[in-house]
Amino acid sequence: MNIPLLAGALFAIFGIYLLGRALSDYKKAVASLEWPGVEGRLTDLRLWGKRNVDGEMQDAEKLIVAYEYEFKGSQYKGSSVAFYTLVYPETVEFARSHSANGDVTIYCNPKAPVESVLVPGPRKDKPYSDCILGAFGMVVGVVIAVLGFLGVIG
């Protein structure tokens, strides 16, 4: 059995899966820029995950939110901040600019109002990072598989 060929093929398949998922999420994030904004209410806003902030350990690494909103006469609940993961310092900045039980603008998909986010669009500083990671994984897997097939490795 050619282990590098098998491992490379599996790695390439995983990379293809990641790339497909990243492209789908990116398209949805871009589409969310056109979603209507509706007024809603934050029902939960918590920071968790210890991080050294200015010399002391504080909950700041991750963010949990919950919100409720009304769209076309129906009530909905959501818990997605964005189509990407907010990490420190974005989490702290978001928590400082919003408060639990406060009003917030929620962007919801008019075709499927249960889909909603508080921050529409892809990540501004790295919009293609997930696509690049998936493509890189696919390429590395293919290279390993080809080298294994040719007998260069393994």
Residues 43 and 90 occupy one common structural domain: yes
Q: What's this model's pTM, rounded to 2 decimal places?
A: 0.82
What was the pLDDT predicted at 39?
Answer: 97
Structural domains counted in the chain: 2
- Spatial CA neighbour of 115 closest among 36, 16, 42: 36
Residues 42 and 105 occupy one common structural domain: yes
Residues 137 and 98 occupy one common structural domain: no
Residues 21 and 72 occupy one common structural domain: no
Residues 137 and 148 occupy one common structural domain: yes
What was the pLDDT predicted at 118?
Answer: 98
Residues 101 and 137 occupy one common structural domain: no
Residues 15 and 56 occupy one common structural domain: no
Question: How much is the average pLDDT of 125-132?
Answer: 94
Residues 48 and 100 occupy one common structural domain: yes
Residues 60 and 17 occupy one common structural domain: no
Residues 86 and 133 occupy one common structural domain: no
18: pLDDT strictly greater than 90: yes
Boundaries of domain holding 58: 34-120
What was the pLDDT predicted at 134?
Answer: 96
Residues 109 and 56 occupy one common structural domain: yes
